[in-house]
Protein backbone atom coordinates (compact mmCIF):
# COMPACT_ATOMS: atom_id res chain seq x y z
CA UNK A 1 0.00 0.00 0.00
CA UNK A 2 1.48 3.44 -0.89
CA UNK A 3 2.02 5.84 2.02
CA UNK A 4 -0.52 8.40 0.82
CA UNK A 5 -3.26 5.73 0.90
CA UNK A 6 -2.62 4.79 4.52
CA UNK A 7 -4.65 6.26 7.41
CA UNK A 8 -3.10 9.51 8.71
CA UNK A 9 -2.09 8.08 12.15
CA UNK A 10 -0.30 5.19 10.43
CA UNK A 11 1.47 7.60 8.07
CA UNK A 12 2.72 9.66 11.01
CA UNK A 13 3.88 6.58 12.91
CA UNK A 14 5.76 5.28 9.88
CA UNK A 15 7.44 8.61 9.25
CA UNK A 16 8.54 8.82 12.89
CA UNK A 17 9.93 5.29 12.79
CA UNK A 18 11.80 5.96 9.56
CA UNK A 19 13.22 9.25 10.83
CA UNK A 20 14.50 7.56 13.99
CA UNK A 21 16.10 4.86 11.89
CA UNK A 22 17.70 7.40 9.58
CA UNK A 23 19.45 9.06 12.48
CA UNK A 24 21.29 5.75 13.17
CA UNK A 25 22.29 4.94 9.59
CA UNK A 26 25.80 5.24 8.17
CA UNK A 27 26.28 7.48 5.16
CA UNK A 28 26.41 4.43 2.86
CA UNK A 29 23.23 2.93 4.28
CA UNK A 30 21.51 6.30 4.12
CA UNK A 31 22.42 6.66 0.46
CA UNK A 32 21.09 3.18 -0.22
CA UNK A 33 17.78 3.91 1.48
CA UNK A 34 17.33 7.23 -0.31
CA UNK A 35 17.71 5.51 -3.68
CA UNK A 36 15.10 2.90 -2.85
CA UNK A 37 11.69 3.05 -4.49
CA UNK A 38 9.61 3.58 -1.37
CA UNK A 39 7.35 6.59 -2.24
CA UNK A 40 7.88 8.49 1.01
CA UNK A 41 8.64 12.18 1.40
CA UNK A 42 10.63 12.79 4.59
CA UNK A 43 11.70 16.05 6.19
CA UNK A 44 15.32 15.42 7.17
CA UNK A 45 17.35 16.61 10.09
CA UNK A 46 16.45 19.83 11.86
CA UNK A 47 20.07 20.94 11.39
CA UNK A 48 19.44 21.24 7.65
CA UNK A 49 16.46 23.52 8.28
CA UNK A 50 18.50 25.68 10.66
CA UNK A 51 21.22 26.07 8.03
CA UNK A 52 18.59 27.25 5.55
CA UNK A 53 16.82 29.62 7.89
CA UNK A 54 19.67 31.52 9.50
CA UNK A 55 21.19 34.56 7.83
CA UNK A 56 20.76 36.58 4.68
CA UNK A 57 19.38 39.97 3.71
CA UNK A 58 15.72 40.42 2.87
CA UNK A 59 15.02 43.13 0.30
CA UNK A 60 11.51 44.57 0.61
CA UNK A 61 9.84 47.16 -1.57
CA UNK A 62 7.44 49.70 -0.04
CA UNK A 63 5.68 52.49 -1.86
CA UNK A 64 5.27 55.37 -1.46
CA UNK A 65 8.17 56.18 0.82
CA UNK A 66 7.02 56.34 4.46
CA UNK A 67 6.75 59.79 6.00
CA UNK A 68 7.82 58.38 9.37
CA UNK A 69 9.00 54.99 10.66
CA UNK A 70 6.67 54.57 13.66
CA UNK A 71 2.89 54.38 13.23
CA UNK A 72 2.22 56.30 16.43
CA UNK A 73 0.28 59.11 14.77
CA UNK A 74 -0.62 57.71 11.36
CA UNK A 75 -2.54 54.88 9.77
CA UNK A 76 -0.68 55.10 6.45
CA UNK A 77 -0.16 51.55 5.23
CA UNK A 78 3.37 52.27 4.01
CA UNK A 79 4.34 53.27 7.56
CA UNK A 80 2.66 50.15 8.94
CA UNK A 81 4.79 48.07 6.60
CA UNK A 82 7.99 49.16 8.37
CA UNK A 83 7.09 50.09 11.96
CA UNK A 84 6.44 46.53 13.30
CA UNK A 85 9.95 45.42 12.37
CA UNK A 86 11.14 47.51 15.32
CA UNK A 87 8.10 48.38 17.42
CA UNK A 88 5.90 45.59 18.77
CA UNK A 89 2.34 45.30 20.05
CA UNK A 90 0.90 43.51 23.05
CA UNK A 91 -0.56 40.80 20.83
CA UNK A 92 -0.13 39.22 17.44
CA UNK A 93 -2.99 37.70 15.40
CA UNK A 94 -3.18 34.64 13.20
CA UNK A 95 -4.68 34.71 9.72
CA UNK A 96 -8.17 34.33 11.24
CA UNK A 97 -7.67 37.29 13.62
CA UNK A 98 -7.31 35.08 16.69
CA UNK A 99 -4.99 36.73 19.27
CA UNK A 100 -1.57 35.29 20.13
CA UNK A 101 0.98 36.37 22.76
CA UNK A 102 3.63 38.93 21.93
CA UNK A 103 4.67 41.53 24.52
CA UNK A 104 1.79 40.20 26.61
CA UNK A 105 2.12 36.50 27.41
CA UNK A 106 -1.48 36.15 28.60
CA UNK A 107 -4.60 38.21 29.19
CA UNK A 108 -7.91 38.05 31.04
CA UNK A 109 -11.26 39.66 30.23
CA UNK A 110 -13.73 40.00 33.07
CA UNK A 111 -17.16 38.35 32.66
CA UNK A 112 -18.84 41.74 32.29
CA UNK A 113 -16.38 42.72 29.53
CA UNK A 114 -15.27 45.87 31.34
CA UNK A 115 -11.82 44.87 32.60
CA UNK A 116 -8.90 43.72 30.44
CA UNK A 117 -5.80 42.50 32.28
CA UNK A 118 -2.55 41.94 30.37
CA UNK A 119 0.35 40.01 31.87
CA UNK A 120 3.57 41.24 30.27
CA UNK A 121 6.60 39.32 29.14
CA UNK A 122 9.52 39.39 31.59
CA UNK A 123 13.06 40.33 30.63
CA UNK A 124 12.24 42.35 27.51
CA UNK A 125 14.56 45.28 26.78
CA UNK A 126 14.29 48.28 24.54
CA UNK A 127 16.98 48.54 21.90
CA UNK A 128 18.83 51.09 24.04
CA UNK A 129 19.02 48.60 26.92
CA UNK A 130 16.27 50.03 29.13
CA UNK A 131 13.74 47.53 30.56
CA UNK A 132 10.27 47.26 29.06
CA UNK A 133 7.55 47.73 31.72
CA UNK A 134 3.84 48.33 32.17
CA UNK A 135 4.53 52.07 32.28
CA UNK A 136 5.48 51.92 28.59
CA UNK A 137 2.17 50.25 27.74
CA UNK A 138 0.07 52.73 29.70
CA UNK A 139 1.95 55.68 28.21
CA UNK A 140 1.60 54.32 24.67
CA UNK A 141 -2.15 53.80 24.86
CA UNK A 142 -2.73 57.22 26.42
CA UNK A 143 -0.57 58.85 23.74
CA UNK A 144 -2.27 56.97 20.92
CA UNK A 145 -5.63 58.24 22.16
CA UNK A 146 -4.36 61.78 21.64
CA UNK A 147 -2.49 61.59 18.35
CA UNK A 148 -3.52 58.45 16.44
CA UNK A 149 -6.32 58.82 13.85
CA UNK A 150 -8.20 55.74 15.07
CA UNK A 151 -7.21 55.26 18.69
CA UNK A 152 -9.68 57.87 19.92
CA UNK A 153 -12.44 55.60 18.63
CA UNK A 154 -10.72 52.31 19.47
CA UNK A 155 -10.16 53.18 23.12
CA UNK A 156 -13.17 55.48 23.55
CA UNK A 157 -14.61 53.30 26.31
CA UNK A 158 -11.36 52.98 28.28
CA UNK A 159 -11.91 55.00 31.45
CA UNK A 160 -8.71 54.13 33.30
CA UNK A 161 -5.36 52.38 32.76
CA UNK A 162 -3.82 50.86 35.87
CA UNK A 163 -0.31 49.43 36.32
CA UNK A 164 -0.38 47.52 39.63
CA UNK A 165 3.17 46.27 38.97
CA UNK A 166 5.82 46.44 36.26
CA UNK A 167 4.44 43.35 34.50
CA UNK A 168 0.69 44.00 34.68
CA UNK A 169 -1.56 46.42 32.81
CA UNK A 170 -5.28 46.71 33.55
CA UNK A 171 -7.70 48.53 31.27
CA UNK A 172 -10.97 49.57 32.92
CA UNK A 173 -13.82 50.23 30.49
CA UNK A 174 -16.89 52.37 31.02
CA UNK A 175 -18.81 50.02 28.74
CA UNK A 176 -18.10 46.60 27.23
CA UNK A 177 -16.30 46.82 23.88
CA UNK A 178 -16.50 43.52 22.04
CA UNK A 179 -13.94 44.35 19.35
CA UNK A 180 -11.21 45.66 21.67
CA UNK A 181 -9.28 42.39 21.99
CA UNK A 182 -8.50 42.64 18.27
CA UNK A 183 -6.88 46.07 18.61
CA UNK A 184 -3.44 45.30 20.05
CA UNK A 185 -1.29 44.44 17.04
CA UNK A 186 1.91 46.35 16.33
CA UNK A 187 0.33 47.84 13.22
CA UNK A 188 -2.60 49.24 15.20
CA UNK A 189 -1.39 49.86 18.76
CA UNK A 190 2.42 50.15 18.76
CA UNK A 191 4.08 50.16 22.17
CA UNK A 192 6.76 52.87 22.31
CA UNK A 193 9.35 53.65 25.02
CA UNK A 194 8.04 56.10 27.58
CA UNK A 195 11.54 57.21 28.53
CA UNK A 196 12.13 58.36 24.95
CA UNK A 197 8.81 60.09 24.24
CA UNK A 198 7.52 61.33 27.59
CA UNK A 199 7.74 65.10 28.02
CA UNK A 200 8.35 65.74 24.33
CA UNK A 201 6.28 66.75 21.34
CA UNK A 202 5.58 63.20 20.19
CA UNK A 203 4.79 64.36 16.67
CA UNK A 204 8.24 65.92 16.35
CA UNK A 205 10.24 63.41 18.39
CA UNK A 206 13.28 62.26 16.33
CA UNK A 207 12.77 58.69 17.59
CA UNK A 208 9.86 58.35 15.17
CA UNK A 209 12.38 58.56 12.33
CA UNK A 210 15.11 56.58 14.10
CA UNK A 211 12.97 54.17 16.11
CA UNK A 212 13.85 52.39 19.33
CA UNK A 213 11.68 49.35 19.96
CA UNK A 214 11.58 45.87 21.46
CA UNK A 215 11.25 44.10 18.12
CA UNK A 216 13.38 41.57 16.27
CA UNK A 217 15.18 44.18 14.17
CA UNK A 218 17.07 47.34 15.09
CA UNK A 219 16.99 50.48 13.00
CA UNK A 220 20.29 51.31 11.30
CA UNK A 221 19.74 54.13 8.81
CA UNK A 222 17.23 55.84 6.55
CA UNK A 223 18.62 57.19 3.29
CA UNK A 224 15.74 59.34 2.12
CA UNK A 225 14.49 58.51 -1.32
CA UNK A 226 16.51 55.31 -1.44
CA UNK A 227 16.27 52.73 1.37
CA UNK A 228 15.72 51.99 5.07
CA UNK A 229 18.03 49.48 6.75
CA UNK A 230 17.40 47.23 9.75
CA UNK A 231 19.70 44.68 11.38
CA UNK A 232 18.99 41.64 13.55
CA UNK A 233 18.40 42.43 17.23
CA UNK A 234 20.87 40.09 18.91
CA UNK A 235 19.20 40.78 22.28
CA UNK A 236 15.68 39.90 21.13
CA UNK A 237 13.57 38.28 23.85
CA UNK A 238 12.84 35.29 21.58
CA UNK A 239 16.37 33.93 21.36
CA UNK A 240 15.51 31.67 18.41
CA UNK A 241 14.59 34.65 16.21
CA UNK A 242 14.89 36.48 13.94
CA UNK A 243 16.40 34.27 11.27
CA UNK A 244 17.44 37.07 8.92
CA UNK A 245 20.61 39.13 9.32
CA UNK A 246 19.21 42.24 7.78
CA UNK A 247 16.18 43.87 6.14
CA UNK A 248 16.57 46.55 3.50
CA UNK A 249 13.38 48.38 2.59
CA UNK A 250 13.77 49.86 -0.87
CA UNK A 251 11.89 52.87 -2.16
CA UNK A 252 11.02 52.39 -5.84
CA UNK A 253 8.54 54.98 -6.98
CA UNK A 254 8.01 53.69 -10.53
CA UNK A 255 5.51 50.82 -10.71
CA UNK A 256 7.13 49.19 -13.75
CA UNK A 257 10.51 49.33 -12.01
CA UNK A 258 9.03 47.47 -9.03
CA UNK A 259 7.94 44.66 -11.33
CA UNK A 260 11.43 44.47 -12.83
CA UNK A 261 13.03 44.43 -9.37
CA UNK A 262 10.91 41.45 -8.36
CA UNK A 263 11.66 39.66 -11.61
CA UNK A 264 15.44 40.18 -11.50
CA UNK A 265 15.68 39.31 -7.79
CA UNK A 266 16.88 42.68 -6.51
CA UNK A 267 13.69 42.73 -4.40
CA UNK A 268 12.44 39.63 -2.57
CA UNK A 269 8.94 40.70 -1.57
CA UNK A 270 6.40 43.45 -1.93
CA UNK A 271 2.96 43.70 -0.34
CA UNK A 272 -0.08 45.87 -0.93
CA UNK A 273 -0.17 44.87 -4.64
CA UNK A 274 3.24 46.41 -5.35
CA UNK A 275 3.07 46.08 -9.14
CA UNK A 276 0.64 47.20 -11.83
CA UNK A 277 -2.23 44.75 -11.99
CA UNK A 278 -1.55 44.42 -15.69
CA UNK A 279 1.78 42.79 -14.79
CA UNK A 280 0.36 40.14 -12.46
CA UNK A 281 -0.38 37.57 -15.16
CA UNK A 282 3.23 37.76 -16.37
CA UNK A 283 4.65 37.59 -12.86
CA UNK A 284 2.43 34.63 -11.99
CA UNK A 285 4.00 32.72 -14.86
CA UNK A 286 7.49 33.35 -13.50
CA UNK A 287 8.57 30.13 -11.74
CA UNK A 288 10.74 31.98 -9.22
CA UNK A 289 7.88 34.17 -8.01
CA UNK A 290 4.80 33.46 -5.93
CA UNK A 291 1.53 35.34 -5.36
CA UNK A 292 -0.07 35.46 -1.90
CA UNK A 293 -3.51 36.90 -1.16
CA UNK A 294 -3.61 36.12 2.58
CA UNK A 295 -2.40 38.46 5.31
CA UNK A 296 -4.76 41.34 4.64
CA UNK A 297 -7.42 40.74 7.29
CA UNK A 298 -6.62 44.08 8.94
CA UNK A 299 -6.20 45.97 5.68
CA UNK A 300 -9.14 44.82 3.59
CA UNK A 301 -11.28 47.82 2.82
CA UNK A 302 -12.84 49.86 0.07
CA UNK A 303 -11.65 52.26 -2.60
CA UNK A 304 -13.61 55.46 -2.40
CA UNK A 305 -13.91 58.90 -3.86
CA UNK A 306 -14.17 61.31 -0.95
CA UNK A 307 -16.01 64.57 -1.58
CA UNK A 308 -15.08 67.82 0.13
CA UNK A 309 -18.51 68.86 1.34
CA UNK A 310 -17.26 72.41 1.87
CA UNK A 311 -16.78 72.80 -1.89
CA UNK A 312 -19.22 75.19 -3.58
CA UNK A 313 -20.43 72.51 -6.00
CA UNK A 314 -20.03 69.31 -4.02
CA UNK A 315 -22.02 70.63 -1.07
CA UNK A 316 -25.09 70.05 -3.27
CA UNK A 317 -26.42 66.51 -2.94
CA UNK A 318 -27.68 66.57 -6.54
CA UNK A 319 -24.14 67.15 -7.82
CA UNK A 320 -22.82 64.20 -5.83
CA UNK A 321 -25.72 62.07 -7.05
CA UNK A 322 -24.90 63.04 -10.63
CA UNK A 323 -21.25 62.06 -10.17
CA UNK A 324 -22.32 58.74 -8.67
CA UNK A 325 -24.62 58.12 -11.64
CA UNK A 326 -21.76 58.81 -14.06
CA UNK A 327 -19.54 56.04 -12.63
CA UNK A 328 -19.68 52.49 -13.99
CA UNK A 329 -18.45 50.18 -11.22
CA UNK A 330 -18.05 47.31 -13.69
CA UNK A 331 -15.34 49.34 -15.44
CA UNK A 332 -13.64 49.95 -12.09
CA UNK A 333 -13.65 46.25 -11.22
CA UNK A 334 -12.91 44.65 -14.58
CA UNK A 335 -10.74 47.21 -16.36
CA UNK A 336 -8.93 49.07 -13.61
CA UNK A 337 -8.61 46.16 -11.15
CA UNK A 338 -8.41 43.36 -13.74
CA UNK A 339 -10.99 41.47 -11.69
CA UNK A 340 -8.96 41.72 -8.46
CA UNK A 341 -11.83 43.43 -6.63
CA UNK A 342 -15.24 42.67 -5.22
CA UNK A 343 -18.17 44.88 -6.19
CA UNK A 344 -19.54 46.94 -3.34
CA UNK A 345 -21.40 50.22 -3.07
CA UNK A 346 -21.16 50.82 0.68
CA UNK A 347 -18.35 51.54 3.13
CA UNK A 348 -18.32 48.06 4.72
CA UNK A 349 -16.58 45.23 2.88
CA UNK A 350 -18.48 42.12 1.77
CA UNK A 351 -19.06 40.02 4.86
CA UNK A 352 -21.38 39.69 7.86
CA UNK A 353 -21.98 43.43 8.30
CA UNK A 354 -22.24 44.46 4.66
CA UNK A 355 -25.39 45.82 3.07
CA UNK A 356 -25.77 43.77 -0.13
CA UNK A 357 -28.25 46.16 -1.73
CA UNK A 358 -27.02 47.93 -4.87
CA UNK A 359 -26.22 51.60 -5.06
CA UNK A 360 -29.31 53.81 -5.21
CA UNK A 361 -27.46 55.62 -8.02
CA UNK A 362 -26.78 53.09 -10.81
CA UNK A 363 -24.76 54.02 -13.87
CA UNK A 364 -27.01 56.29 -15.94
CA UNK A 365 -25.49 59.24 -17.85
CA UNK A 366 -28.90 60.54 -18.92
CA UNK A 367 -30.04 60.70 -15.30
CA UNK A 368 -26.74 62.35 -14.26
CA UNK A 369 -27.19 65.12 -16.83
CA UNK A 370 -30.81 65.64 -15.78
CA UNK A 371 -29.78 66.00 -12.12
CA UNK A 372 -27.22 68.67 -12.96
CA UNK A 373 -29.68 70.56 -15.17
CA UNK A 374 -32.31 70.52 -12.42
CA UNK A 375 -29.75 71.64 -9.83
CA UNK A 376 -29.10 74.83 -11.81
CA UNK A 377 -25.74 74.00 -13.38
CA UNK A 378 -26.29 74.38 -17.15
CA UNK A 379 -23.62 73.67 -19.75
CA UNK A 380 -21.60 76.62 -20.99
CA UNK A 381 -20.53 77.38 -24.54
CA UNK A 382 -17.71 74.85 -24.22
CA UNK A 383 -20.14 72.17 -23.07
CA UNK A 384 -18.81 72.24 -19.49
CA UNK A 385 -20.84 73.12 -16.40
CA UNK A 386 -18.00 73.67 -13.92
CA UNK A 387 -14.52 72.37 -13.09
CA UNK A 388 -13.24 70.19 -10.26
CA UNK A 389 -9.95 68.52 -9.35
CA UNK A 390 -9.26 65.04 -8.01
CA UNK A 391 -6.20 63.97 -6.00
CA UNK A 392 -5.30 60.26 -6.18
CA UNK A 393 -3.42 58.80 -3.21
CA UNK A 394 0.24 58.70 -4.30
CA UNK A 395 2.11 55.59 -5.34
CA UNK A 396 -0.84 53.47 -6.42
CA UNK A 397 -1.29 52.87 -10.12
CA UNK A 398 -4.97 51.91 -9.69
CA UNK A 399 -5.82 55.25 -8.06
CA UNK A 400 -4.26 57.16 -10.94
CA UNK A 401 -6.18 55.02 -13.41
CA UNK A 402 -9.41 55.73 -11.51
CA UNK A 403 -8.65 59.44 -11.74
CA UNK A 404 -8.16 59.15 -15.50
CA UNK A 405 -11.40 57.16 -15.87
CA UNK A 406 -13.38 59.72 -13.86
CA UNK A 407 -11.95 62.56 -15.94
CA UNK A 408 -13.35 60.91 -19.07
CA UNK A 409 -16.62 59.86 -17.47
CA UNK A 410 -17.43 63.20 -15.86
CA UNK A 411 -16.67 65.07 -19.06
CA UNK A 412 -19.72 63.31 -20.51
CA UNK A 413 -21.93 65.07 -17.98
CA UNK A 414 -20.23 68.45 -18.34
CA UNK A 415 -17.80 68.38 -15.42
CA UNK A 416 -14.20 69.24 -16.30
CA UNK A 417 -12.00 67.18 -14.00
CA UNK A 418 -8.29 67.78 -13.47
CA UNK A 419 -6.21 64.91 -12.06
CA UNK A 420 -3.47 66.20 -9.74
CA UNK A 421 -0.49 64.13 -8.63
CA UNK A 422 1.87 64.88 -5.78
CA UNK A 423 4.07 63.09 -3.26
CA UNK A 424 2.60 61.74 -0.04
CA UNK A 425 3.47 64.65 2.30
CA UNK A 426 1.98 67.14 -0.16
CA UNK A 427 -1.14 64.98 -0.58
CA UNK A 428 -1.72 64.67 3.17
CA UNK A 429 -1.22 68.39 3.70
CA UNK A 430 -3.53 69.31 0.84
CA UNK A 431 -6.38 67.00 1.86
CA UNK A 432 -6.25 66.93 5.66
CA UNK A 433 -4.54 70.15 6.73
CA UNK A 434 -5.14 72.80 4.08
CA UNK A 435 -8.36 71.17 2.82
CA UNK A 436 -7.43 72.50 -0.61
CA UNK A 437 -9.12 69.69 -2.50
CA UNK A 438 -12.38 68.86 -4.23
CA UNK A 439 -12.25 65.08 -4.43
CA UNK A 440 -9.66 62.50 -3.45
CA UNK A 441 -9.44 58.81 -4.34
CA UNK A 442 -7.89 56.37 -1.91
CA UNK A 443 -8.42 53.07 -0.12
CA UNK A 444 -9.61 52.85 3.47
CA UNK A 445 -9.43 49.69 5.56
CA UNK A 446 -12.36 48.41 7.62
CA UNK A 447 -9.75 47.06 10.05
CA UNK A 448 -10.87 44.61 12.72
CA UNK A 449 -14.29 46.20 13.18
CA UNK A 450 -16.40 48.88 11.43
CA UNK A 451 -16.73 50.71 14.76
CA UNK A 452 -13.09 51.68 14.29
CA UNK A 453 -12.14 51.38 10.63
CA UNK A 454 -15.35 52.86 9.21
CA UNK A 455 -16.49 55.18 12.01
CA UNK A 456 -13.34 57.32 11.70
CA UNK A 457 -14.46 58.39 8.21
CA UNK A 458 -17.99 59.55 9.03
CA UNK A 459 -18.42 60.58 12.67
CA UNK A 460 -18.50 64.32 13.24
CA UNK A 461 -16.03 64.15 16.15
CA UNK A 462 -13.50 62.61 13.76
CA UNK A 463 -13.33 65.68 11.58
CA UNK A 464 -9.80 66.43 12.77
CA UNK A 465 -7.98 68.95 10.66
CA UNK A 466 -4.36 67.96 10.20
CA UNK A 467 -4.92 64.30 11.12
CA UNK A 468 -4.70 62.00 8.07
CA UNK A 469 -7.28 59.34 7.21
CA UNK A 470 -10.07 60.79 9.30
CA UNK A 471 -13.33 62.46 8.23
CA UNK A 472 -11.90 64.37 5.27
CA UNK A 473 -15.30 65.10 3.74
CA UNK A 474 -16.40 67.12 6.81
CA UNK A 475 -19.56 65.03 6.94
CA UNK A 476 -21.81 65.55 9.94
CA UNK A 477 -24.98 63.57 10.68
CA UNK A 478 -26.14 63.14 14.31
CA UNK A 479 -27.91 59.90 13.44
CA UNK A 480 -24.69 58.44 12.05
CA UNK A 481 -22.86 59.46 15.23
CA UNK A 482 -25.52 57.81 17.36
CA UNK A 483 -25.59 54.58 15.38
CA UNK A 484 -21.83 54.15 15.41
CA UNK A 485 -21.75 54.68 19.17
CA UNK A 486 -24.61 52.25 19.63
CA UNK A 487 -22.85 49.61 17.52
CA UNK A 488 -19.60 50.09 19.43
CA UNK A 489 -21.36 49.56 22.77
CA UNK A 490 -23.54 46.63 21.71
CA UNK A 491 -22.57 43.08 22.59
CA UNK A 492 -25.44 41.48 20.67
CA UNK A 493 -24.23 40.69 17.14
CA UNK A 494 -27.71 40.87 15.64
CA UNK A 495 -28.18 44.38 17.02
CA UNK A 496 -24.74 45.45 15.78
CA UNK A 497 -25.53 44.17 12.30
CA UNK A 498 -28.75 46.15 12.18
CA UNK A 499 -26.90 49.32 13.25
CA UNK A 500 -24.27 48.82 10.55
CA UNK A 501 -26.91 48.14 7.89
CA UNK A 502 -28.70 51.36 8.77
CA UNK A 503 -25.40 53.28 8.72
CA UNK A 504 -24.70 52.02 5.19
CA UNK A 505 -28.15 52.96 3.96
CA UNK A 506 -27.77 56.51 5.29
CA UNK A 507 -24.25 56.94 3.91
CA UNK A 508 -25.31 55.65 0.49
CA UNK A 509 -28.14 58.18 0.52
CA UNK A 510 -26.12 61.16 1.79
CA UNK A 511 -23.06 60.44 -0.41
CA UNK A 512 -20.25 62.09 1.57
CA UNK A 513 -18.17 59.71 -0.53
CA UNK A 514 -18.61 57.23 -3.34
CA UNK A 515 -17.53 53.64 -2.74
CA UNK A 516 -16.19 52.04 -5.92
CA UNK A 517 -15.00 48.52 -5.02
CA UNK A 518 -13.31 46.34 -2.43
CA UNK A 519 -9.90 45.43 -3.90
CA UNK A 520 -8.13 42.13 -3.34
CA UNK A 521 -4.57 42.94 -2.30
CA UNK A 522 -1.73 40.64 -3.28
CA UNK A 523 1.83 40.03 -2.15
CA UNK A 524 4.47 39.16 -4.73
CA UNK A 525 7.48 37.26 -3.38
CA UNK A 526 10.53 35.24 -4.35
CA UNK A 527 9.95 31.55 -3.66
CA UNK A 528 13.27 31.29 -1.82
CA UNK A 529 11.62 33.36 0.95
CA UNK A 530 9.61 31.34 3.46
CA UNK A 531 7.25 32.10 6.38
CA UNK A 532 6.64 35.69 5.33
CA UNK A 533 2.84 35.57 5.73
CA UNK A 534 1.90 33.92 9.00
CA UNK A 535 -0.28 36.61 10.57
CA UNK A 536 -3.18 38.87 9.78
CA UNK A 537 -0.66 41.67 9.21
CA UNK A 538 0.97 39.93 6.25
CA UNK A 539 3.99 41.93 5.12
CA UNK A 540 3.24 44.46 7.87
CA UNK A 541 4.38 41.84 10.39
CA UNK A 542 7.80 41.85 12.04
CA UNK A 543 9.29 39.19 9.69
CA UNK A 544 10.74 37.53 12.79
CA UNK A 545 9.81 34.12 11.32
CA UNK A 546 10.88 34.80 7.74
CA UNK A 547 13.87 32.95 6.31
CA UNK A 548 15.64 32.65 3.00
CA UNK A 549 16.46 29.28 1.49
CA UNK A 550 20.06 29.29 0.29
* Residue 51 is assigned to a structural domain of this protein: no
* Residue 243 is assigned to a structural domain of this protein: yes
Residue 89 contacts residue 544 (beta carbons within 8 Å): no
Q: 20-44: per-residue pLDDT in tens?
A: 433 333 333 333 333 333 333 333 3
What is d(CA 69, CA 209) in angstroms, rounded to the nearest whole number?
A: 5
What is d(CA 245, CA 82) in angstroms, rounded to the nearest whole number?
A: 16
Q: Let me know whether 121 and 189 are in one domain.
A: yes
* Residue 128 is assigned to a structural domain of this protein: yes
Q: Let me know whether 429 and 533 are in one domain.
A: no
Total structural domains in the chain?
A: 4
Query: What pLDDT does 298 receive?
Result: 87
* Residue 215 is assigned to a structural domain of this protein: yes
Q: Let me know whether 249 and 314 are in one domain.
A: no
Q: Let me know whether 351 and 436 are in one domain.
A: yes
Residue where one domain finishes, among candidates 183, 204, 225: 204
Q: Which are the contacts of 4, defined by CB distance < 8 A and separation ≥ 6?
A: 11, 39
Three-state DSSP state, 89:
coil
Query: What pLDDT does 152 receive?
Result: 82
- Backbone angle region of 18, left / alpha / beta, with phi > 0 → left and psi within -120 to 50 → alpha: alpha
Q: How far is CA 206 from CA 75, 76, 217, 431, in A?
A: 19, 19, 18, 25
Burial class (CB in 10 A: 0-12, 13-18, 19+), 223: exposed
The sign of the dihedral angle between the CA atoms of 154, 155, 156, 157 is: positive
Q: Would you list the DSSP string of 104-157? A: EEEEEE-TTS-EEEEEEPTT-B-TTSPBP-HHHHHHHHHHHHHH-TTHHHHTTT
Range of the domain at 10: 3-44
Three-state DSSP state, 369:
helix
* Residue 67 is assigned to a structural domain of this protein: no
Q: Let me know whether 344 and 467 are in one domain.
A: yes
- CATH number for the domain that contains residue 452: 3.10.105.10
Query: What pLDDT does 178 receive?
Result: 83
- CATH number for the domain that contains residue 276: 3.40.190.10
DSSP character at residue 168: E
Q: 348-390: per-residue pLDDT in tens?
A: 999 899 999 999 999 999 999 999 999 999 999 999 999 999 9
- CATH number for the domain that contains residue 135: 3.90.76.10
Q: Let me know whether 473 and 365 are in one domain.
A: yes
What is d(CA 521, CA 539) in angstroms, rounded to the nearest whole number?
A: 11
Q: Let me know whether 411 and 497 are in one domain.
A: yes
Q: How many residues does the chain have?
A: 550
In the chain, count H helices and then E strands.
18, 21
Query: What pLDDT does 412 receive?
Result: 98
Q: Let me know whether 272 and 406 are in one domain.
A: no
Q: 190-206: per-residue pLDDT in tens?
A: 999 999 999 999 999 99
Partnered with residue 439 across adjacent β-strands are 307, 390
- Exposure string of 492-513, with b = 16+ CB inside 10 Å and e = fewer, is eeeebbbbbbbbbeebbebbbb
Residue ranges, the chain, pLDDT below 70: 1-52
* Residue 393 is assigned to a structural domain of this protein: yes
Q: Let me know whether 396 and 322 are in one domain.
A: yes
Q: Let me know whether 391 and 506 are in one domain.
A: yes
Query: What pLDDT does 37 receive?
Result: 36
* Residue 442 is assigned to a structural domain of this protein: yes
Q: Let me know whether 322 and 289 are in one domain.
A: no
* Sheet architecture: strand order including 168-173: 104-109, 115-120, 168-173, 158-165
Query: What pLDDT does 413 receive?
Result: 98
* Residue 162 is assigned to a structural domain of this protein: yes
Q: Let me know whether 189 and 218 are in one domain.
A: no
User: Considering the entire predicted model, what is its pTM?
Assistant: 0.79
Element (H, E) at 62: strand 57-62
Residue 249 contacts residue 60 (beta carbons within 8 Å): yes
Query: What pLDDT does 19 receive?
Result: 38
Amino acid sequence: MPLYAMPRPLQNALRTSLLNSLCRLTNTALATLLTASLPVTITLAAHTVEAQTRGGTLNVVVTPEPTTLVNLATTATNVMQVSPKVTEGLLDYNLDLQPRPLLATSWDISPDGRTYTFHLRHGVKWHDGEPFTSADVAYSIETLRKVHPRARSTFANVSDIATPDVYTVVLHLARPTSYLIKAFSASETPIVPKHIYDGTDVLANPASNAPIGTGPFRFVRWVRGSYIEYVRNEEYWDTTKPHLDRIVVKVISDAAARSIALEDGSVDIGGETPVPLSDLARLKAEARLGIETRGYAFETGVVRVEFNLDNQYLKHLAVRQAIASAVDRDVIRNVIYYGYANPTSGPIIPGPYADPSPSPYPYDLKHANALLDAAGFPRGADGMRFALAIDPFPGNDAYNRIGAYLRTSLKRVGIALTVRNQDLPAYLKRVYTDRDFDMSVHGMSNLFDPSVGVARLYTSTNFRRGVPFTNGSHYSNPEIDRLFQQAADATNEAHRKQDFLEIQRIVKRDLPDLTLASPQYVTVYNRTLHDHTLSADGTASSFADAWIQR
